[in-house]
Amino acid sequence: MKSTAALQRRASPAVKTAWVALGIPFDVPMIDEKVEGIIDIEALIMTTLLLMEQDRMATDLPAWLSRFSDLVNHQKLKTMFNTMPGQHRSVILEKVTQSPFSGAPKSIRDIFGLKPVSEIISKTVQMRERKLNTLENVADASIMIRNRLQYGTGFRADIIALTHIKGFGMKGTQFAKVLCTNDSTVSRVLGDLRACRFLDQDNERIGPVELYPGMFISSQSLWNLCEIMDAAKFSSQELKRGALENLNLRHDGLGTKILKRLI
């Protein structure tokens, strides 16, 4: 692991495979959630911002947000941003203020305290928006998008999506941690789902269910990426190894891929 720049180069292709599934036409294979795991939309956005360089992603991400902002959980996105370590939050702020990201909708700009975009950037983002895949195809590829179309953009849709993961069966506090929300919100939703016999008392699905292997990108991916970026700056190989060995990869398929490329 030579530098943060090297980390970005190795991690970006995996992130782009997730975005292809969500409708951005990068020249990389599309990830299959049923093979690699579920993509958390807000975690993908934040991970992308942390890794973003001055390439096509700088215009395609705000274009995607302009098209699909109604399917973004703004509260979750804001919580993830505010929970990040200060130095990484500063990196993101620097990137979004110096890139066309300001072409994103006002509701997204407000999370990062961004000013309105210039007309030139706005036209560029609008042009890129026309290149995106259809909502129908995105919903077919992403279980979180599909659930949000059915149940709304609140946490209920995401909790139901996670119940497709074999053996997920987590307590409310664990759901809340992965989804960056509070225990009471998750407890209320889980109670509703148990009451209608959608879930059993262990929060596992009742009846036939299409299973997914885990999560490819979750909030844990974002926290792990921050740790990996910090470790990249260590001069001591022993310190780097120690930091990486302590990562929690249970809900982080992306982190697992990154480590394979770095170690």
Distances (CA, A) of 255 to 109, 156, 205, 220, 241: 27, 26, 27, 9, 15
Burial grade of 114 (CB within 10 A; 0-12, 13-18, 19 or more): middle
Q: What is the pLDDT of residues 202-244, one digit of tens each?
A: 888 898 999 999 999 999 999 999 999 998 888 788 877 887 8
φ and ψ of 215, to 5 deg: -120, 130
Q: What is the pLDDT of residues 167-179, one digit of tens each?
A: 776 688 889 999 9
pTM of the predicted protein model: 0.94
Q: What is the pLDDT of residues 41-93, one digit of tens each?
A: 999 999 999 999 878 999 999 999 999 999 999 999 999 999 999 999 999 99
Per-chain mean pLDDT for the chain: 92
241 and 204 Cβ atoms separated by less than 8 Å? no
